[in-house]
Chain A
Amino acid sequence: MMKNLKLKAARAEKDLSQADLAEIVGVARQTIGLIELGKYNPTLNLCIAICKALDKTLNDLFWID
C-alpha cells in the first residue's frame, strides 16, 4: 500500500501531531501513524472522523488517482 502523504500534509496544515489527531478521532497514535505509512486500511467510519477533524473531504485525503 502507498503512503498517505495527503493525510500527513493536511495534519501538518492544521498543526496537529499524530497524537493530537488520534485523540480527536478516538484512536491510538500508532493507528494514525500506520494509516500515514499505508500499512493500515481504515474503515469508512474512521476515514470520515479523520476528514471531519481536518476539515477535508474523503476525496481530499483518501482518493487515489
Chain B
Amino acid sequence: MKKIIVDERIQSVQNKIYKEVFYLVLIMCLVSIVAKTLYYGFDATKLITEAVIILGSIGYFGIKTILLGTYYEVNEDKINRSSPKKNALFGGLVGVLIAIFFGVRSSILYANQGEKLYYFMLVFVAALMIYIPVLIIATVLPDYMANKVSKRMSEKRLGDYDEESQA
C-alpha cells in the first residue's frame, strides 16, 4: 500500500488557502447583506443565513483561540498588548459616535426650526449616558475574561508538559 504523504509545506500552503477562503466567505456574506438590504429593504429574517455564517464562524474562531491559549499568548507580547485602557477608550469613542449619530438623526427627523440644537443636545447627552458605560463594559469585560480563561488554558498546557518531562 502506498504511503499517504502529509507534506508540511503543502499543509501550510493549504492552511493559507483555507484562511483566504474564510475571508472570502465573510466578504461574500457582507456583500450579500448589502445587496439584499438595497434590493428588498432591511428585513432581518432575510439575513439570517448570512448572520449565522458570520457570527458562527467568528464565534468558533474566538472560542477555539481562547481555549487553545493563543488569545493570551498573542496578547502577552507587550507591544501588541490590548490594554483595558485602550479598549475602554475605544468603547468610549464608539459611544460618542453613536450619541452624535442619534443626536443628529433626532434633530433632523423630529425637531422644528429653532429646536434643532436643543433636540440634538437632549438626545446626545441621553445617548452618552446610556452607550458609553455599556460599550466600555462590552469592550473591556469580554477581553478581560477571554484573557483570563486563555491564560489558564495556556498555563495548563505548559503544566502538562512539565509533568510529562518530570515523569
Which residue numbers of A lie inside 8 Å of B, CB to CB?
23, 26-28, 30-31, 34, 40, 42-43, 45-46
Contacts and interface: CB of A to CB of B under 8 A. Distances in A.
A43 to B, nearest CB: 6
Contact of B5 (A27, A42, A43, A46): A27
Nearest to B4: A26
B9 A31 contact: yes
B7 A28 contact: yes
B7 A42 contact: no
A28 B10 contact: yes
A20 to B, nearest CB: 14
A45 B11 CA distance: 14
Contacts of B10: 28, 31
Contact of A43 (B3, B6, B8): B8
A46 B6 CA distance: 11
Interface in B5-39: 5-10
